[in-house]
Each structure stands twice: as C-alpha cells, then as structure tokens.
A and B are shown apart, each in its own frame.
Chain A
Amino acid sequence: MATNNQFDAIVVGSGMSGGWAAKELTEKGLKTLVLERGRDIRHVTDYTTALKDPWQLPHNNRPTNADRAAQPIQSTLYLYDQSTKQHFVNDLRHPYAQEQPFNWYRGYHVGGRSLMWARHVFRYSDLDFTANQREGVGIDWPIRYADIAPWYEHIERFIGASGENSGLPQLPEQVLQPPFEMNALEKHIRSHMAEKFGGERKLICSATAVLSREHNGRGPCQGRNQCARGCPFSAYFSSNGVTLPAAAATGNLTLQPDAVVHSLIYDEGKNRVTGVRVVDANTRKTTEYFAKVVFLCASALNSTALLLNTRSARFPNGLGNDSDELGHNLMDHHNGGGATASYSGLSDRYYRGRRATSMYIPRFRNVGKREDKFMRGYGYEVYTSRGSWTRGIGSADFGADFKNEITRPGEWNLYMEGYGETLPYHDNRMWLSPDKVDSWDMPIIQLSMTYRDNERAMAQQMMDDAVEMMQAAKLENVSGFNNPVTPGSVIHEMGTARMGRDPKTSVLNAYNQVHSVPNVFVTDGSCMVSSPTQNPSLTYMALTARAANHAVELLKRGEL
C-alpha cells in the first residue's frame, strides 16, 4: 500500500466511469485510490432486498409517507420502491437548488448509478459526432467514430451485452450476445412495421448490458427484472459486480468509501494538480491524498462542482475554466412524446419470466433527409405486456367473476416513449451557491435548465410518429401523448465540462484532459459536446477507458 497518502492515480467516483478508470489504471500497474463519497455496497452480500418476495417487503413494496418525506425527489422515480430506496440519496441530506425545476436522481454509494441504471448500451455514430459542426450548433466534437470504435468494442467484450444489431448506419454494429426473445405482440408489430416502413423504421431488441448467456462466470439473466436491487447472479453490468472486482484483483486498488472530495489541490508552480482534499462523510475530518494523475468520474454535476470549487489566483473561476464554459451547456434527454395502445388479438399467447430490457426503434429522423421543423432525432423504447391484476383497480367491478377475470392475463398493452436529443444551450447550466454549503462544507449546486423550441417541435413529432407506427401495426386504442418533461428526469445529465479542440471554447481536450492542467482527466457525462439520441453510458465507459490508457502512455513518456 501507498505511504503518506501517495498514489499513482486517484479516481473520484466509483460508478459507471470510475469503475472503468479503476480497472484500466490498475491493470496497467498504477497504484490507484478510488474515492467514493457514499457507503460501501459489496457485490451480492449487500443486496439486502434482492431475493425478497413482495410480501416480505414493507407494505407489499409500497413506499410510505416517511419515505417520500426523506426522499421527495428520488421517490418520484419509476424505480423507487421498498426494494430499491436504499440505493437512492436522502434528498434532505444532499440538497441542491432548482433555479428551474430539475430532478436530480442520485445514488451515493460504491457503484453509484451503475447499480440502478436502465442498462441500455448503444454506440454513437459519426452522424452524432459531426452534428454540431454540420449544423453550426455549439462546438465540434474533437473526436470521430474511428477514434472511439475500438474502445466501444473493448468495453462491450468485457461488460457483456445482449441485443440485436439494427444494421442501420446511425446505430453502429456492436459486439452483442443473442437478444432476449420478442413476445407475440412484438413479433406482430415488427412484421407490420417491416411491411409499412421497409427497413427505415424497425423494432429490435435493445442492446442491453444484461447477459442472455453466461459471460466470464457471470449470469445469464434469470428473468427477474429486479436489477435495481442489485443482481445476485451478476447478470447485468455494474461497477460493484464487474469493474471494481477486476481492479481489486490486480492488487493495485485502494477503495475508500465515505470519502467526500471537497476540492483538488493545485500547484501553481508546477501547473499540476497534486492531489485532492477529502472530508470524511461521517467524522468530517479532512485528509489529503496525492497522486500523479487525477480522474474525475463523480457524475457530470459533481465533477464539474469539484472543478468550480477549486479556485486559485491562476483559476479564479474554477480549475481549468479559462473558457468560462465550465458549468454551461447542461443537457439531458427528453422523453415526453410517445403513445399507448392495446391489442385484443393474440389472446392465446403469453410469456414466462420478466425480461430485463425493452424493445427499441432506432432513430429515423434527420438521418437521410433533413427535417424542416427540428434538428437531430430520437429513438423509442417500447414496452409491452398482457394486462395484470392492476387493471382491476380502476374498474367499478368486484366479486367472484371480477376476481376470476383479473387473475387471467388481460389484453396486450403497449407503452412507448421517444428519447430525444437535446441541443447544448450555453445558458442551461449549473453553478455553485455563493453562500450555502452542505454538511461537508461543499457549496451546493444550483441548476437552471429548460427545453427549447427544437425539443418541443421534436416532442410533437415523437408523439405523431409513435401513433402512426402503432396504427400501421394495426394496434387498437392508439393514443398519443406529449407530456412536459422536467429536466434531469431521464438521468442523463451531461455537458458541463465539454471536450473540444480549442481551449478558448472548451474545458477538456480530445483525451478528456483539462486543457490547461493536463494531469486532470474528466471522463463522466460532463465531457459531452452534444447529447445524441442514444443512451450515453457506453460512451462514458469507452471515453474513460480511452483516456485512462492515454494517461498511462503519457506517464510512461514522462509527459504528466
């Protein structure tokens, strides 16, 4: 172990990105300290609710008023119940300020949100990486698909993902295990869509970091669809179950939970960050740790907050903030547009098990021809099932016939929603409170983000296209919706320390290094230059692995 709190590398955060930084750096021989602000959650043994039946959970898994009082924001999430609430923060202990409404869903513990994520893993394509440049929006990405493609493959081969390759250029081919099977209604929709839309719009099984086959001693999925409790079968990817154990196996990992990083230690003479200041989450005692290289993987808002909270004569507005872009260009996806439908046919078909993923309709807008009304596009997640006993709650009926009816599978139901790209707007942003601090003396984060005309026009089309496709699939009671979305709700916050070629307009370079302080790497969602349509975690992981390997090269050459 290191002496005098000295390590080769420090990684702040143990989630999706931090786990990958830890794995790559330790495997390359670097003594690496991973600092996690929350408690430890050990793989399998600490998944205390994982195998509980509904009746073994308080109130048959229904949240209480006391739960909602302690977690007023977290408890609004679809995943939140008695089996998962321990994986979300207490909102009262972890305040932030909403200058505009913003739902910030978080888990402060080892593994971060890799423990509860929705596990969809798609690659970005050059349609995405060139979009800003082609359309004169924001700044250009400093990388192209060819730069990241080998790293996508590197990640996919290790995490193990299942699903179906679309064959569409906007959704590049991935290394995938066989997909989970479609149910009868999904097969029906797929064939009708093929007939009506040719190959342009198609229903596929989502690429998902859930194993359909055994992989490196993990999985396969047992069909419980209770992933957010933690998986006793290691069937989905999490830091806890996959990257952190790999890092630990090298003997080079030191994992320190309950360590709230307050700021970075900057040496103006050397123009390097030499370490970090940590406040113990429980005792509030301050400790300093030192390393040659620091990776910020604390999630977009928290990594950016750390940079903003590291001020010096050289950087009065936050470390690396020569561009004044730090904290700006905050993005999340928007998912307000979609449709519901039912289907009375196929009543003789059913399924067994609970599939831990959705079906997917890849982006088809602004792919070939340019739309008039909006830039960019959206893909849909599609969920189908046969009616359950819950349909009885809304009906006036009761009694023996009612009970017999609702204990049999009901009609098929469909719910689909689009996930749309959000443009980077300079004034969608976060900043630090000038006067309020949390229990660890960290200034609280203030957020202001709104969706604009481009997102609104897109959401309308998202609804109209969903209705058109389900009508084409001959479904019944097709009903579109276009609901307002509170930013943050898709839990893809990103963009607040963007990459770029020019230090005057960006915070990070093409390898996620802070332009002006090259031994600091930021590899979580904060580095994003645009938000594409697809779920971002795979890209965070790929950029992290790429940056970590670059850092090791630079260290070897004595350039850090």
Chain B
Amino acid sequence: MSNRRSFLRGASILMGHAAFGQVMTAFAAAPRKATFFTDTEMQTLRALVDVILPATDSPAASAADTHYFIDLAIPACASVAAQKTFREGLKTLGKKRFAILAPPEQVVQLKARAAVDMEPPYDQSFFKILKDYTLTGYFLSEVGATQALAYERVPGGFQGDLPLKANQKAWAI
C-alpha cells in the first residue's frame, strides 16, 4: 500500500509542476514548419526516414514527425561539419529526385549511398548521421517508444529473469 501511496505522491507533485504543463502545451501546439532545412530538403528527408523505418505493425517514421525532429536536432546538436555533410547528402539525393522515386528505386539509391558511407570513417558520413538521427527521433518519440517498442515510465521495480514472450517488443530505454 505504501508503495502505491508514495508513488502517487511523487507523481502528483511532479505532474503538478508548472513546467510539465507548459511542455505538453508546447508539444500540442508545435507548428509543423521546418526551421532549418528547405522545403525540398524536407521532402527528401521525409522520404528517407520512411525508407529507413517504413510502416509495419507500427507507424512509419514520418507519422511520428521524425523528419521534423531531425530539422530541429541537426542544427542544435550536430557539429558544424556534420551539418554540412548532412545537408550536402540531402542535396545530392534531392538532385536525383529521391522523394518521388518509386520505392524500389529509393532502396537502390540509399543502398548505394550506404555502401559508400560504410567505408571508414563511417562515423562522419551522411548515412551514419541519417541513421543516428532517424532512429533517435523515431524510437524516442511517443509513437516509436510505445508502439514500435515497449516503454514504461515507471516500471514499478525490477524483474531480472523473465521468459521472452512470442513477438515481445524490446524496451525503448
């Protein structure tokens, strides 16, 4: 009983914190307009994130606004060099009209780019940056964490050794 009581006490205090409500409002009202990339670059980016993480038994990356996450995170978090590499990569694929290619052709194009970029130094490559930000944007979004993966904000304890159920999803964090 006291577990549940102390849990509710802790949760209610934090839920009541002003910042929490502000964050939720900000998310609900977030304008879906790009801040860093051009419209053309955003079209390429949207297509790319969906080729990497298409709709399966969970929504596609674009349905979780992964391309908008990348539009905010690349200028804020990536080094200047990485920003440049990433933008050039989008431009190159944009020239090939990646966004409107037939899906099989998109796969061919991205595989070709991946093959080039997998050569060292992979860490600084366009493909690595794309994978990093796409996966982080999607799997740590609410859609990705709770539908593509399994997520518990408060697991309630630790159970160390359980049987893996058929088709059980991995934990998001």
Does B148 lie within 8 Å of A407, measured CB to CB?
yes
A194: interface (CB < 8 Å) = no
Decide: A351 and B56 in contact? CB cutoff 8 A: no
Distance in Å from the Cβ of A71 to the closest Cβ of chain B? Answer: 14
Given known pairs A214-B2, A224-B154, the reply for A399 and B52 (CB within 8 Å) is: yes
Q: How far is the CB of B70 from chain A (nearest CB, A)?
A: 10
Q: Is B29 an interface residue (CB 8 A)?
A: no
> Contact between B136 and A409 (Cβ–Cβ < 8 Å)?
no
Q: Do A392 and B135 contact each other (CB < 8 Å), given the known contacts A44-B13, A45-B13, A48-B17?
A: yes
Interface size on B, residues (CB 8 A): 70
Residues 1-33 of B, flagged 1 when their CB comes within 8 A of A and 0 if not, give 011001100110111010110011001000000
Contacts of A3 in B (CB 8 A): none
Partner among A214, A355, A410 whose Cβ is within 8 Å of the Cβ of B170: A410
Q: Which of A478-497 contact B (CB under 8 A)?
A: none
Contact A217-B160, Cβ < 8 Å, known A54-B145, A398-B52: no
Partner of B168, one of A184, A388, A409: A409
Interface residues of A in 393-413 (CB under 8 A from B): 393-396, 398-400, 402-404, 406-410
Partner pick for A408 among B73, B162, B169, CB 8 A cutoff: B169
Bound Cα distance A347, B10 (Å): 36
Are the C-beta atoms of A388 and B171 separated by less than 8 Å? yes
Do A409 and B170 touch (CB < 8 A)? Answer: yes
Partner of B158, one of A180, A218, A410: A180
Known A233-B7, A352-B158; judge A217-B115 contact (CB<8 A). no
A146 at the interface (CB under 8 A from B): no
Q: A396-B115, A399-B107, A407-B169 are in contact. Are A60 and B155 (CB under 8 A)?
A: no
Residues in chain B near residue A184, CB distance under 8 A: 160-161
| Residues in chain B near residue A61, CB distance under 8 A | 140
Q: Is the CB of B77 within 8 A of A223?
A: no
For residue B10, give the distance in angstroms from its CB to the closest CB of chain A.
Answer: 3
Does chain B have a CB within 8 A of A283?
A: no
Do the beta carbons of B15 and A223 come within 8 Å of each other? no
Q: Is A350 positioned at the interface, with any CB of B under 8 Å from its CB?
A: yes
Report yes or no: A65 in contact with B145, Cβ–Cβ below 8 A: no
A224 touches B164 (CB 8 A): no
Structural contact, A354 and B155, CB atoms closer than 8 A: yes
Contact A407 B76 (CB under 8 A): no
Q: How far is the CA of A187 from the CA of B23 in the complex (A)?
A: 42
Q: Is A63 an interface residue (CB 8 A)?
A: yes
Minimum Cβ distance to chain A for residue B72 (Å): 7
State whether A353 and B135 are in contact (beta carbons under 8 Å apart), knowing that A232-B10, A398-B52 are contacts in the complex.
Answer: no
A234 within 8 A of B: yes
Q: Which of A62, A396, A404, A410 contacts B56 (CB 8 A)?
A: A404
Contacts beyond the supplied A50-B14, A65-B78, A66-B76: 12 A-B pairs with Cβ under 8 Å? A51-B10, A56-B24, A59-B69, A60-B140, A64-B76, A354-B155, A354-B171, A389-B170, A389-B172, A396-B111, A404-B56, A408-B168
Please list the residues of chain A having a beta carbon within 8 angstroms of any beta carbon in chain B.
44-45, 47-48, 50-56, 58-66, 180-184, 186-187, 214, 217-224, 232-234, 347-356, 386-390, 392-396, 398-400, 402-404, 406-410
| B residues whose Cβ falls under 8 Å from a Cβ of A | 2-3, 6-7, 10-11, 13-15, 17, 19-20, 23-24, 27, 51-54, 56, 58, 69, 72-73, 76-79, 107, 110-111, 114-115, 118, 122, 127-128, 131-132, 135-137, 139-142, 145, 148-149, 151-164, 167-173
Cβ contacts A to B, 5 pairs, < 8 Å: A55-B142, A187-B161, A223-B154, A354-B158, A389-B149
